[in-house]
Amino acid sequence: MFFLYRSLLYLYPSADRHEFGDEMTTVFREVQSEATKQGLVAQALFWVREVHGLLAGALRAHLRTITGIHYPSPIFSRRLTMRSEFRFPKATVTLMTIILAAVVMAIEKATAIENSIAPTSPHVGPIQPAHFTFLPTLLLILSFGCLMGILGWVVLFALHRSGAQRLADFDPSQERTAGGGLRI
Amino acid sequence: MESLPVTEPVLLILLSLAEQPRHGYAILHDVQEMSEGRVTMSTGTLYGALRRLLDDGWIERFHEEDNSRGRQAYRLTASGRRNLRQEVSRLKQLTRVASLRVAGKET
């Protein structure tokens, strides 16, 4: 298992690995021996945490090397910051994916039904698939979905509804009313 | 690094080093203890944060006399301590406002 940790360290840029690799390995050994004493569940959690930490850390290190910007850890990173920024909701992405999958399945089903109907009469033929085929339709749906997503993002960004930036800039020591109460 | 605000792991690391110089394993333990077990950092997260703090001059390497176990200790710089004070002050203001708001809602 220790070999796996050493191998994952090679995902880091070489400069980072040379600077911190030995230290990280030493700390890892100490934490691992502690987790081993606490049972299988603790060991499993330890490994999940370490592998995730290494993968995310290596990715951030490479991004920093390329862009020169430090990217904070995704875990816990937003708890205390309260920045005035809008993030595209993950639920929307999930919903859009489900809708897309449903549309693709419906197209597949329609194609199957169309193929199952035998052309008995020239007047009552099978359902014609209009003038578009599967791939262009899929691209059209994807483009439409992306366009709607961007439009939604722009509208919400323009509305700037979070209000977090007002709280972040708020200084209660300068906002006292004549009665001594806070005016927020 | 932007001066304020800092992320929770970074804040906990700074608080850990505010008391005394510590090496990686001691920082991990102290962070877990301060957060009452809520925050458990991996080595990747810890050294990512340490790297950033070193680059920005908030912490520095502390050379211990006994370095036989190959462990590197870190300590706050004057700039890091000043920024930590500012952050604590910001959090105090925020919790004071939060307390007043919550108390106002309950009465």
Please state the rounded mean pLDDT for residues B46-63.
92
CB contact under 8 A, A73 and B45: yes
Distance of alpha carbon B43 from alpha carbon B28, whole angstroms: 8
A6 touches chain B (CB under 8 A): no
| Token duo for residue A55 | 């993968």
For residue A22, give the chain B residue with the closest CA.
B70
pTM: 0.59
Neighbour-count burial of B46, counting CB atoms closer than 10 A to its CB (0-12 exposed, 13-18 middle, 19+ buried): buried
Nearest by CB to B8, which of A58, A60, A76?
A: A76
Contact A23, B47 (CB under 8 A): yes
Count of A-B CB contacts under 8 Å: 104
Which residues 6-65 of chain B have a CB within 8 Å of chain A? 6-11, 23-25, 28, 39-52, 55
Q: What is the mean pLDDT of each run of 10 residues along chain A (184 residues)?
A: 86 90 91 89 89 89 80 50 51 78 84 76 57 74 87 74 54 50 43
Nearest by CB to B24, which of A27, A54, A61?
A: A27
CATH number of B96's domain: 1.10.10.10
B3: in domain: no
B1 touches chain A (CB under 8 A): yes
Among all chains, which residue has been given the structure tokens 């929307």? A92
CB contact under 8 A, B9 and A54: no
> Which residues span the domain enclosing B94?
8-106
Domain count along chain B: 1
Nearest to B50, CA basis, from B67, B20, B66, B73 = B73
Among all chains, which residue has been given the structure tokens 């110089």? B21
**For residue range A10-62, what is the model confidence (pLDDT) as tens digits?**
999 998 899 999 999 999 999 999 888 888 888 888 999 999 999 988 888 88
Domain residue spans of chain A? 2-67, 82-117+127-184
| Token duo for residue B86 | 């500012």
CB contact under 8 A, B7 and A16: no
B88 touches chain A (CB under 8 A): no
